[in-house]
Structure 1
Amino acid sequence: MLDHPYRVQIAAKAADLARERAEIALLASRGVIAEAIAVMRAEGLGDRQIAAKLGVSKSSIKARAIRPVPTNEDMAAQIETLRQTMWVDVADMTDQHWIIVDDHIRSYKRMLTHGITPEVRERNDVATDSREYVQVTTGNRIVVYSQTQWNGQPDPIVVSGGDQRGRYIVERCPGVDRMICAARHTPLPLDEIGLDVDDDLYGTGWPRPRPTAHQVWKRITAAIEDTYQIFDPAYPNWEVERRRGTADRYPKRADRQVVQRVSSD
């Protein structure tokens, strides 16, 4: 009989944990590689070019492009956290000057954060997406939000409850001063991010029907991210999971002229 069996048990558990963590790291890295391939393909690179970027053989790209699906739920959650962390970390380590902050906040709460008075009371079923970017050196911000619901201004006469006429707002903020900085916001002209006048409109109630609120949000944020070279850590996962035929998250460079900015403005 061993004199110190508890030390043996702990050593065995440590070895098991080490193997589990190694497997988690391996699966997370394989997931990130698959996502990286999807991103590069979306940018127009062929498998030979991707292989050169990754330092692997061209014949391995097809297999590497398949993201593994873990069967253990606990392990899957840890893999997902590690995968997301890798993309966030690498985005922070690049030379980009702008990052996305406080994501997943809807327009209503975004406005309250900046001291903007909402014109419409919040309702989750008609809330619109928003996004905010911060310049890491100066603290300057770009804020994207809407004063209207996804179905426009409230209109009790129509079945949908809204007039189907909405608009997104894009503003510069010199730095968040909680609840009171709205007075210092200034409009960011759409032509500065390669968009046309009225590209901020959404809904079918206009004389010329416009895309949906979410489509316009995607268009505006994609234009900002291309112009200021901002990397969205959530984008690689979106690219892997998007269905065939879905519009590109970022329009091809031939579709519109992109004026890249990396300054602190």
Structure 2
Amino acid sequence: MRFRPCIDLHNNQVKQIVGGSLRDDGSGLQTNFESEYDSAYYAKMYQRDRLTGGHVIMLGPGNEEAALLALQSYPGGLQLGGGINPGNARKYLDAGAAQVIVTSYMIEDGDVSQRRLDALMKVLKPQELVIDLSCRKTVHGHYVVVYDRWQKFTTCQLTAATLQMLSKYCCEFLIHAVDMEGKMSGVDAGLVKFLADNSPLPCVYAGGISSYEDIELIRRNGSGKIDYTVGSALDIFGGHLSYQKLTADEFNC
């Protein structure tokens, strides 16, 4: 288990938002934090502290400038997601992304598209791709993959078979527990355990972490196998958890 840093971008600014509140017309956006620093500031900080595998997420259009700045500031150290498709993936890898992260592109007619996965594999190797399986829990207790700024449900349930099928196309899974994201209301312990028990690939969990006890819960339920990202609760994003403390060995083992 190790800490993975993040840089979330909205309108070319580093922000922390409440998951599921971003819409096409910008209405309803709930912002927890808006930084006075640019993306390069955070990228260089992560490089200085030798943190790898962090992700830069472009939340909607108008973020390319800030995204490229982050990648150029820490070449090979960050993953990039948000609007990635076969036409632009190679550009971001060439600009310094360690991997690109894909969700929405691989969804077609509300489900994971074999045709689109094949299209990605024509321009990417599995070790260059992270698949984002961010999900919401239904009233029936199933985890269902969501896309398009987490506003739309797919028909794809997060199951052991789903993880196994997708594992041949990528090197890692990124999973935001969307109903927890940005709310600092605690982690989805059941989702963490499910991922630890069923994923054939490394997984990164994000969503709801608000205390050191939450991180210990991820360690325990994830059997030490699930990495984690902290957003709004981190002091560098206006929160109360110490970034420096999370870079220590105690929270990376």
State the TM-score, normalizing by the size of structure 1: 0.25
Structure (1/2) with the larger strand percentage: 2
Greater RCO (Cα-Cα under 8 Å, separation 6 or more): 2
TM-score (norm 2): 0.25
More helix, by proportion: 1
Q: If you compute each CA radius of gyration, which structure gives the higher value, 1 or 2?
A: 1
